[in-house]
Amino acid sequence: MVQELICIVCPKGCHIKVDGENISGYTCLRGLSYAKQESVNPLRTITSTVLIEGEDNLVCPVKTSHEIPKKEIFNVMKVINKIKAKRPIKMNEVLIKNVLNLGVDIISTKEIL
């Protein structure tokens, strides 16, 4: 089965076709690498927010420290949505260590004093 992808590595957005070992449509090696990874185990970085303890209208923006398998996004979001962070929160502070044993942390992307 031919898989059609749009490369998201850069804004050019090349249309790539993956047919088993045959990959076409990419215009650079980063696109080839993306297509290989995407056809086997698609990865994504998640960005979201977490609630802050004792605050009704304030959330802390977070992201995964590295990419996670696309199929785990929903499960990771369930964990992110359950926690409440405690102030003060430093930039890049680990709020969830090794989420779901994926070897990836959930870290803050903003300092909240």
Q: Interface residues with ligand SF4 (CB under 6 A)?
A: 7, 9-10, 12-14, 26-28, 30-31
In whole angstroms, the minimum distance from the beta carbon of 86 to ligand SF4 comes to 40
Rg (Cα) of the chain, in Å, rounded?
18
CB of 17 to ligand SF4, least distance (A): 12
Give me the residue whose beta carbon is nearest to ligand SF4.
31
Between residues 7 and 85, which has the closer beta carbon with respect to ligand SF4? 7
* Burial class of residue 32 (count of CB atoms within 10 Å of its CB; 0-12, 13-18, 19+): middle
Backbone angles phi, psi at 59, to 5 degrees: -125, 160
Closer to ligand SF4 by Cβ: residue 12 or 97: 12
Least separation in angstroms between residue 102's CB and ligand SF4 is 25
Residue whose C-alpha is closest to residue 4's, from 33, 45, 39: 39
